[in-house]
Chains A and B, each alone.
Chain A
Amino acid sequence: MIYLDYAATTPAHPSVLSAFKKAAQKYIGNPNSGHELGLMAAKAIDKALTKMRHHLHLPSSYELIPTSGATEANNLAWQGVLNIPENKGKHIITTAFEHSSITANANYYARNGFRVDILTTDKHGHVDLNHLRSLLCKDTILVSVCSVNSEIGNRQPIQAIVDIIKGYPSVYFHSDVTQSIGKEPIELDGIDLISMTAHKFYGVKGIGLLIKKKKRDFTPIIRGGHSTTAYRRGTPATELIVSMERALKLAMQGQITNYDYVVGINEYAREHLSPLPNIVFNSEATDSPFVFNFSLPGCSSRATVTYLSQRGIYISNHTACESDADLSSAILSLTSDQALATSSVRLSFSYLTTIEEIDRLIEVLRGYCK
Chain B
Amino acid sequence: MKKIMLITAVWCPSCLIMRPRYQAYVQKHLEFSFEEVDFDDNPSLVKKLSVAKTLPVAIIYTGEREVVRLIGELSAQNVEEKLSTI
User: Which of A105-113, A124-132, A301-309 forms part of the interface with chain B?
Assistant: A105-113
Min C-beta distance of A106 to chain B, whole Å: 5
Give the residue of B10, B36, B39, B54 whose beta carbon is less than 8 angstroms from that of A327: B54
Min C-beta distance of B45 to chain A, whole Å: 13
B51 A333 Cβ-Cβ under 8 A: no
Min C-beta distance of A110 to chain B, whole Å: 6
| In the complex, the 4 A-B pairs of residues with the closest C-beta atoms, listed nearest first | A104-B10, A107-B10, A96-B13, A100-B11
Min C-beta distance of B84 to chain A, whole Å: 24
Given contacts A111-B36, A118-B16, contact A104 B11 (CB under 8 A): yes
Given contacts A111-B36, A327-B54, contact A321 B17 (CB under 8 A): no
Give the residue of A94, A103, A323 whose beta carbon is less than 8 angstroms from that of B52: A323
Give the residue of A106, A322, A327 whose beta carbon is less than 8 angstroms from that of B16: A106
A103 B53 Cβ-Cβ under 8 A: no
Count, A-B residue pairs, CB within 8 A: 63
CB-defined contacts of B83 to chain A, threshold 8 Å: none
Interface centre among B10, B19, B52 (most CB of A within 10 A): B10
A-B contact pairs, 22 of them (CB 8 A): A94-B16, A96-B17, A98-B13, A103-B10, A103-B12, A106-B16, A107-B10, A110-B16, A110-B20, A111-B36, A116-B16, A116-B20, A118-B16, A320-B11, A321-B13, A321-B54, A323-B9, A323-B46, A323-B55, A329-B14, A332-B14, A332-B73
When chains A and B are docked, how far (Å) is the Cα of A98 from the Cα of B13? 9
B11 and chain A: residue at smallest CB distance: A100
When chains A and B are docked, how far (Å) is the Cα of A322 from the Cα of B14? 10
CB-defined contacts of B59 to chain A, threshold 8 Å: none
Interface centre among A118, A322, A332 (most CB of B within 10 A): A322
B12 and chain A: residue at smallest CB distance: A321
A103 B55 Cβ-Cβ under 8 A: no
Give the residue of B8, B53, B54, B73 whose beta carbon is less than 8 angstroms from that of A107: B8
CB-defined contacts of A96 to chain B, threshold 8 Å: 13-14, 16-17
B14 and chain A: residue at smallest CB distance: A329
Min C-beta distance of A47 to chain B, whole Å: 38
Chain B interface (Cβ < 8 Å from any Cβ of A): 8-17, 19-20, 36, 39, 46, 51-55, 73
Question: Is there a chain B Cβ closer than 8 Å to A356's Cβ?
Answer: no
Chain A interface (Cβ < 8 Å from any Cβ of B): 94, 96, 98, 100, 103-104, 106-108, 110-111, 115-116, 118, 319-324, 326-327, 329, 332-333
Min C-beta distance of B12 to chain A, whole Å: 6
A333 and chain B: residue at smallest CB distance: B13
CB-defined contacts of A94 to chain B, threshold 8 Å: 16
Min C-beta distance of A366 to chain B, whole Å: 31
B54 A118 Cβ-Cβ under 8 A: no
A103 B16 Cβ-Cβ under 8 A: yes
When chains A and B are docked, how far (Å) is the Cα of A115 from the Cα of B52? 27
CB-defined contacts of A104 to chain B, threshold 8 Å: 10-11
Min C-beta distance of B16 to chain A, whole Å: 5
When chains A and B are docked, how far (Å) is the Cα of A115 from the Cα of B21? 12
A108 B10 Cβ-Cβ under 8 A: yes
CB-defined contacts of B11 to chain A, threshold 8 Å: 100, 103-104, 107, 319-321
When chains A and B are docked, how far (Å) is the Cα of A327 from the Cα of B19? 20
CB-defined contacts of A321 to chain B, threshold 8 Å: 11-14, 54-55
Min C-beta distance of B77 to chain A, whole Å: 16
A323 B16 Cβ-Cβ under 8 A: no
When chains A and B are docked, how far (Å) is the Cα of A106 from the Cα of B16? 7
B16 A107 Cβ-Cβ under 8 A: yes
CB-defined contacts of B52 to chain A, threshold 8 Å: 323-324
Given contacts A110-B19, A111-B36, contact A323 B13 (CB under 8 A): no
CB-defined contacts of B15 to chain A, threshold 8 Å: 107
When chains A and B are docked, how far (Å) is the Cα of A315 from the Cα of B16? 28
Min C-beta distance of A118 to chain B, whole Å: 5
